Amino acid sequence: MTTETDRLLVQRCLGGDARAFEELLENYKNQIYSFIRRLIENPQDAEDQTQETFIKAFRRLDSYDPAYPFITWLFRIAHNASVDFLRAKRPQTVSIDDEDAPLELEDKGDCVETAVSVKMETERAERLLASLPPLYREILLLKYHEELTGREMAEVLGIPEGTVKIRLFRARALMREKFNAMARPETAEKSNAVKNFCRKNF
Amino acid sequence: MKDPITDAEIAGLIASLPYYTVAKDFNRKVLAAAGIGAREALPARWKLWAERAVGTMAACWLGTAAFSVSLLVIMNIGDILPVLADPRAFSACVKFYALKAGFLAVDVLGFLSLAKALVVILAGRLNLLPYLAGSTLLAGSVILALSRHPAYARPGAARR
């Protein structure tokens, strides 16, 4: 969806065209749900918060500033909803060694071997991401998964661009620590130090 | 010692994550909570579109007819008023124009039968019906696609 198309749809919504909102909903629901789910983790809670996000978006549509892409504004609402939810209910950070919590994701790849390999890689990426505090998870998702610019991320998170850069730097450093800890089991002490660092920063 | 993961690899790992999908009744729940009705069933939407199309075309034709008649009357008002004032002249005038309309109708019927003969000849030679059907479908598709494009949507009043 282009920014211009989104603006036209928002104008139509404000003019009373309900179908325009349904179109926006259809275009962005999976994107917002995936973002919230990777912060909140529980699928049902994530879906509830996604519904809340879109309901709030509909009710506050007249406050949308066309200077920013619509998706940025949606992510802002999703971020606020996730933060409020997480503050009310402190999540359990998934351990990277937890083999009892398989993640259900779609298979990619044409043959079984490729599909299994891709699925394993995806699961590894999901576990790595889930082991980070939500603060760093969301910045990595916004930067690399949603490909937002620094300015857009600052708008979504409500922080200055400089803070975005610092947070991104720390997120990548932490990701590297986690990755290395996973690759080298003998550095369990270092992994614990990283976990303590996570607890302090969340 | 394993090489540390690079920033590019971190970016690649995150970027490769798939999107989750919401439940099938997600839209319905959101729209219900927002107080918006669900999208109408397909036949109802087609029916509405057809009604609007017929209504618009009928309005255009009626408007054209009203414009033509009023223009004719205004241009000949000098001749019309005295006739209306005199009942005998009015009656003769009505008969005259009825006769004129009859001749015009005969001309139109003659033109239509000529057009029909032409179509029969062409249809016989060229198998015109498939071409007509194809052209009608194409034109209908173009109209439908353009009418649904956001660029041609009714601009709403932006509120701040």
Determine, yes or no, domain membership for B148.
Answer: yes
> What's the CATH fold of domain A111-202?
Arc Repressor Mutant, subunit A (1.10.10)
How many beta carbons lie within 10 A of that of residue B117, not counting itself?
10
Cβ pair B156:A58 closer than 8 A: no
- pLDDT above 50 (res A89): yes
Kindly tell me the number of DSSP H helices and DSSP E strands found in chain B.
6, 0
Q: Show the 3-state SS of B15-61.
A: HCCCCCCCCCCHHHHHHHHHCCCCCCCHHHHHHHHHHHHHHHHHHHH
**What is the pLDDT at residue A201?**
62
The residue of A22, A53, A129, A148 whose CB has the most chain B CBs within 10 angstroms, and thus the best one to mutate to test that interface, is A22
Q: Binning pLDDT at 50, 70 and 90, where does residue B3 land?
A: low
- Tell me the per-residue pLDDT of B144-156, one tens digit each, with 9 for 90 and over: 888 777 666 555 4
Determine, yes or no, domain membership for B69.
Answer: no
Determine, yes or no, domain membership for B106.
Answer: yes
ipTM over 0.85: no
Q: Which domain holds residue B126?
A: 84-152
- pLDDT above 50 (res B158): no
Can you tell me the distance from the alpha carbon of A118 to that of A121, in angstroms, rounded to the nearest whole number? 5
CATH 3.40.50.410 fits A1-91, yes or no: no
Cβ pair A34:B20 closer than 8 A: yes
pTM flag (> 0.90): no
CA angle A102, A104, A106 (to 5 degrees): 140
**Which residues of B fall within a CB distance of 8 Å from A37?**
20
The domain ranges of chain A are: 1-91, 111-202
Determine, yes or no, domain membership for B114.
Answer: yes
CA dihedral sign of residues A200, A170, A78, B17: negative
Specify the number of domains making up chain B: 1
Determine, yes or no, domain membership for B28.
Answer: no
Determine, yes or no, domain membership for B142.
Answer: yes
Instruction: Measure the N-to-C terminal CA separation of chain A; round to a whole number of Å.
Output: 34
How much of chain A, in percent, has pLDDT values that exceed 90? 47
**Which CA distances in Å does A68 have to A4, A173, B91?**
11, 30, 73
- pLDDT above 60 (res B95): yes
Determine, yes or no, domain membership for B40.
Answer: no
**What is the pLDDT at residue B94?**
83
